[in-house]
Amino acid sequence: MIIDDIATIAARIRLGGKNVAFTGAGISTESGIPDYRSQGGIWDKFRPVYFDEFMSSRVAREEYWRRWTALYTGIEAAAPNPAHRALADLYRNGYLDAVITQNIDGLHQASGLPEERVVELHGNTRRIRCMHCRTILPIQEVQQRLADGDPAPECNCGGYLKPDTISFGQAMPAAEVEKAVRLSRTCDLFLAVGSTLLVQPAAHMPYFAKDNGAFMAIVNLSETPCDALFDVRIRDKAGQVLPRIVDALASLQAIPVSSPTGMDKKPDPES
């Protein structure tokens, strides 16, 4: 029963400790950002531009930037949805340590989470980086150059500019992966949202958390190969479930936190 599950998650979040959320494309589809790796996604229509091709071929770079421009229009216009805002609420109230995300849309930061609390496993497409000197350029400047007819912009140092995301065939960002592993290994509660937990290294994180004895909850529309690891599974839209967890937490405020049996008490909707 979903109401019980929501109350259980809220009660566990309220116990304190280190609570970590892990998010995937499913949390952003409700903001109108398509899950471009899924079936019917952009990579079904186009073969991806691999990192090696980007670095070795101007034609590939131009193709990459053409696609990015089309994709970015949607991302730029997207706003955080109730699921993003619920996680930001949890953080503000001291109930969430960090968000590990597979998303590249920057919507967690846009919802109010500080940059240092968001671990981006696949980078962020709102940042443009030089592949040679590693400088980050203002995105408006790069957009202007594209609009002015430069099909594959380069840095002043001569390096190739590229959105700061992990392309197919590109190495994962070591520092971010390390942070994600450390958070997962030490958390007391692991809340997966909108991820099928299929892609590595994402798929390892729930195992690390489980090994640490964390309480495990997942909100995702479909089954995942990691479902057996989770104490609570909710198959519903994140934008509908997460705000209810925040509400349930607010209702729990009257119950003393010291008693673990308090977890079984459900807030009376009439009161």
Q: Which is nearer to Zn ion, 132 or 235 (CB)?
A: 132
Write the interaction track for Zn ion spanning residues 116-135; mark x where CB under 5 A is met and - where it is not: --------------x-xx--
- Given 84, 108, 122, 132, which residue is catalytic? 122
Q: Which is nearer to Zn ion, 145 or 204 (CB)?
A: 145
> DSSP per residue over 134-178, as a string?
-PEEPHHHHHHHHHTT-SS-B-TTSPBEEEEE--TTPPP-HHHHH
Q: Which is nearer to Zn ion, 82 or 123 (CB)?
A: 123
122 is an active site residue: yes
C-alpha atoms less than 13 angstroms from C-alpha of 146 in its C-beta half-sphere = 22
The C-alpha atoms of residue 29 and residue 82 are separated, in whole angstroms, by 12
Closest CA to 137 of 123, 122, 153: 153
Residues numbered 132-161 forming contacts with Zn ion, rule: CB under 5 A: 132-133, 155, 157, 159
Q: What are phi and psi of 48, to 5 degrees?
A: -65, 155
The residue type found at 46 is F
Q: How far is the CB of 159 from Zn ion (least distance, A)?
A: 4
Helix (H, G, I), strand (E, B) or coil at 119: strand
Q: How far is the CB of 158 from Zn ion (least distance, A)?
A: 7
Residues numbered 157-216 forming contacts with Zn ion, rule: CB under 5 A: 157, 159
Q: How far is the CB of 63 from Zn ion (least distance, A)?
A: 21
Q: Which positions are catalytic?
A: 122
- Name the residues that contact Zn ion, by CB under 5 A: 130, 132-133, 155, 157, 159
